[in-house]
Structure 1
C-alpha cells in the first residue's frame, strides 16, 4: 500500500484570510470534516503537515479549507496546483475487492494462463465501472473492472490476474 493518498488538488486561494479552494479527488468530499490534518507535497515532492482548522463544501462540490499557518492570500497562493494527501492512518477503509488507484498503478497484469499483458498505467472512472488502461508492448488494452475480468489483485506483489473476454 502507498504511504499517502491524494484527496484533493489546490485550485486557488479563496478570500484574503488564507483559505484555499480544493478540487476533491475523492468520491466522498465530506471526509474532509473528519480529517484532523493534511499533507501538502511541494513541487519537489517534499511533504508538509498542516492542521485543518475549518472545512466548507460549496454547492458546486469544491472544498474550502483553512489550514493552520496559512493566514493570508499570499500564503494560500503558494499552495496553488499542489496535491493534498492523507496518510494511511486517515485513509478511507475499503470494502472487499476495492482498491486505491495509487496501489493499482504500476501493477503487472497477467492472463490466467500466465501471459504478461503489460503494466496498468491509468484508471478511468466511467461511472458504471472503472476501466483499467494496461500498456502492452505495442498497444493499450482496456479492461473493465468487473469480476468476470479481474480475477486476482495482489497489492503487495503489484500483480493482477485477469481473464480476457472475447474482443479484448
Structure 2
C-alpha cells in the first residue's frame, strides 16, 4: 500500500504572492479546506508544506503555503505533485478503495485461476472500470460493479472477480 496519496498537481503560479494553481486529482476538491498540510514531491525530496489559504477558481484550487510568500519561492514547483499521508486521507466507505491501492493487485476468477494484474482504473460517469493486464498481453476491462468484483483484499494484494460472458472475447 502507498503511504502517500496524490491530491493534486501544481500547474502554475497564481499572482506574485506565492499562491499556486493546483489541478485536483481527488474526487472532492473541497477537501482542501480541511487540509492543514500536504507533502510536495520535488523529484529530489519530499517537503511538508503547511496550507495557509485555500480558494477556488474554475476547476482549480488556489493554495497559499506558509513561508512561501512570493512568486520566486514557488515557481520552481510547477508540475510537481501534492500528496497527503494516509492519516490525512479521506475516510472511505465500505467497498471503496484508493486507486493507488488497486493498481498492482493480482486478479483471479471465482475458480482461483489467475487472470492478471490491475494496471489502471478508468473513471467513467457511471462506475469505474478496472483494466487488467493479462499474461498474454491483452487487456481485460472489468466494470467495478458487484456482479463482477466479488472480493477485494488490498492487504493480501488480491482481487477476486466474475468475468461476465463475452468480456474475454473483446
TM-score by structure 1 length?
Answer: 0.96
**Mapped pair 1:31 → 2:39:** no
Q: Which residue of 2 aligns with 1:152?
A: 151
Deviations along 1:63-91, whole A, 9 cap, x unmatched? Answer: 00001122221222111111101111110
Aligned equivalents of 2:19, 2:126: Cα separation in 1? 35
Counterpart mapping for 1:130-149 below 5 A: 130-137=128-135, 138-149=137-148
Structure 1 residue 119 displacement after superposition: 0.8
Distance 2:107 2:20 in 1: 39
* 1:16 equivalent in structure 2: 16
After TM superposition, which residue ranges in structure 1, 4 or more long, deviate above 4 angstroms?
Answer: none
Q: Is 1:50 aligned to 2:49, yes or no? A: yes
- Count of residues in correspondence between the two structures: 166
Structure 1 residue runs of 5 or longer lacking an equivalent are none
The answer to whether the 8 Å contact 1:17/1:73 transfers is yes
| Deviation sequence 1:12-54 (CA, Å, 0-9, x none) | 011101100000011111110100101001223x311000000
Q: CA deviation at 1:2?
A: 2.2
**CA separation in 1, counterparts of 2:152 and 2:39?**
28
Quote the Cα distance in structure 1 between the aligned partners of 2:36 and 2:159.
Answer: 34
Root mean square deviation of aligned Cα = 0.9
How is 1:82-101 mapped onto 2 (pairs within 5 angstroms)? 82-101=80-99
2:101 is aligned to 103
